[in-house]
Amino acid sequence: MSLLGKAGHSPAARESGFAAHRAGVERLLASYRAIPADANVRLAKKTSNLFRARAKNTAPGLDVSGLTQVVQVDSDARTADVAGMTTYEDLVAATLPYGLAPLVVPQLKTITLGGAVTGLGIESTSFRSGLPHESVLEMDVLTGAGELITARPEGEHADLFHGFPNSYGTLGYTVRLKIELEPVLPYVALRHLRFRDLRELEAAITRIVDEKSYDGERVDYLDGVVFTAEESYLTLGRQTDEPGPVSDYTGMDIYYRSIQHDGAQPKRDRLTIHDYLWRWDTDWFWCSRAFGAQNPSVRRFWPKRYRRSSFYWKLVALDHKYNIGDKLEARKGKPPRERVVQDIEVPVERTADFVEWFLREIPIEPIWLCPLRLRETGAPAARNGRVWPLYPIEPNRTYVNVGFWSSVPIVPGQREGAANRAIERTVTDFDGHKSLYSDAFYDEDEFAALYGGEAYTELKKRYDPDQRLLDLYSKAVQRK
Residue 65: per-residue pLDDT: 93
Average pLDDT, the chain: 91
Residue 18: per-residue pLDDT: 87
Helices in 195-323 by DSSP H: which ranges?
Answer: 198-211, 255-258, 273-277, 296-299, 309-322
Please write the tens of the pLDDT for every residue from 270-307: 999 999 999 999 999 999 999 999 999 999 999 999 99
Residue 317: per-residue pLDDT: 84
* Burial class of residue 308 in the structure, from the number of CB atoms within 10 Å of its CB (0-12 exposed, 13-18 middle, 19+ buried): buried
* Maximum Cα interatomic distance, the chain, rounded to a whole number of Å: 66
Does a cis peptide bond (omega within 30 degrees of 0) precede residue 366? yes
Q: Give residues with Cβ within 8 angstroms of 265, minimum separation 6.
A: none
Q: Span 446-459, mean pLDDT?
A: 95
d(CA 293, CA 311): 11
Residue 53: per-residue pLDDT: 56
d(CA 123, CA 220): 11
Please write the tens of the pLDDT for every residue from 43-94: 876 665 555 555 555 567 899 999 999 999 999 999 999 999 999 999 999 9
Closest CA to 234 of 254, 206, 271: 206
* Stretch (H or E) spanning 113: helix 113-118
Beta-bridge mates of residue 214: 217
Q: Is the pLDDT of residue 423 over 80?
A: yes
Residue 115 C-beta-side C-alpha neighbours within 13 Å: 22
Q: Span 395-411, mean pLDDT?
A: 95
Please write the tens of the pLDDT for every residue from 346-366: 999 999 999 999 999 999 999
d(CA 256, CA 421): 29
Closest CA to 423 of 410, 409, 442: 442
Give the range among 138-147, 273-282, 308-317, 346-355 with minimum mean pLDDT.
308-317
SS3 271: strand
pTM: 0.93
Within 136-220, strands assigned E span 136-143, 148-151, 172-183, 187-195, 213-214, 217-218
Q: Give residues with Cβ within 8 angstroms of 472, minimum separation 6.
A: 167, 168, 170, 390, 436, 447, 451, 452, 456
| pLDDT grade for 466, boundaries at 50, 70 and 90 | very high
Please write the tens of the pLDDT for every residue from 17-44: 889 999 999 999 999 999 998 889 988 7
Q: What is the DSSP letter of 62?
A: B
Residue 5: per-residue pLDDT: 39
Residue of 321 and 92 predicted with greater confidence = 92
Q: What angle do helix axes 351-361 and 198-211 make, rounded to 10 degrees?
A: 140
Q: Span 434-452, mean pLDDT?
A: 94
Structural domains of the chain ordered from first start: 11-183 (3.30.465.10)
Q: Is the pLDDT of residue 386 over 70?
A: no
Would you say 192 and 221 are in contact if contact means Cβ atoms under 8 Å apart? Answer: no
Give CA torsion, residues 403, 273, 77, 209, to 10 deg.
50
Residue 114 C-beta-side C-alpha neighbours within 13 Å: 26
Distance of alpha carbon 417 from the chain centroid: 23
Residue 333: per-residue pLDDT: 84
